[in-house]
């Protein structure tokens, strides 16, 4: 049975082609992509002001994190980002008080240097989405 979150994390190459992660499968496999834990930062950096206040600057950033992800799940996600980065559309959790979800165009960045490999899976696997623009 699906948890409510599995219906909300989505990815696609256009806003009209976004699909639930549990519907993504690698060709020849029946393994769906599990839903991640995620972080959402409303600004990509902070700027310390002379007054002591801090200003958030830049586009929002989201990170999807899996404690363990199979090779098939990783390959399904990799199809959206064959290089170091790619333009995609996502639906992800935000930091609103209601833990709502929102749709964004984003730059998907593949964290190749952080892939901790184990036999047929990756541990503490992360995919970063930057330059989030609401759609």
Domain residue limits, the chain: 4-134
pLDDT, tens digit (0-9, with 9 covering 90-100), for 44-80: 999 999 999 999 999 999 999 999 998 888 889 999 9
pLDDT, tens digit (0-9, with 9 covering 90-100), for 98-108: 778 999 999 99
Task: Using alpha carbons, select from 29, 38, 50 the residue that is nearest to residue 91.
Answer: 38
Classify burial at 16, counting beta carbons within 10 Å of its beta carbon; exposed 0-12, middle 13-18, buried 19 or more. exposed
Cα 108 from chain centre: 7
Q: What is the pLDDT of residue 99?
A: 74
Buried b (16+ CB within 10 A) or exposed e, 57-93: eebbbbbbebeebbbbbbbbbeebbeeeeeebbbbbb
């Amino acid at each position: 049975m699906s948890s409510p979150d599995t219906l909300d994390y989505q990815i696609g190459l256009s806003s009209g082609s976004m699909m639930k992660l549990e519907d993504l499968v690698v060709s020849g496999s029946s393994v769906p992509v599990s839903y991640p834990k995620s972080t959402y930062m409303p600004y990509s950096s902070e700027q310390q002001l002379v007054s002591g206040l801090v200003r958030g600057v830049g586009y929002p950033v989201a990170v999807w994190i899996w404690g363990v992800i199979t090779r098939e799940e990783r390959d399904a996600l990799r199809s959206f980002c064959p290089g170091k980065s790619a333009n995609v559309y996502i639906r992800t959790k935000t930091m609103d008080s209601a833990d709502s979800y929102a749709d964004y165009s984003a730059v998907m960045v593949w964290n190749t240097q952080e892939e901790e490999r184990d036999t047929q899976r990756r541990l503490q696997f992360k995919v970063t989405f930057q330059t989030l623009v609401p759609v």
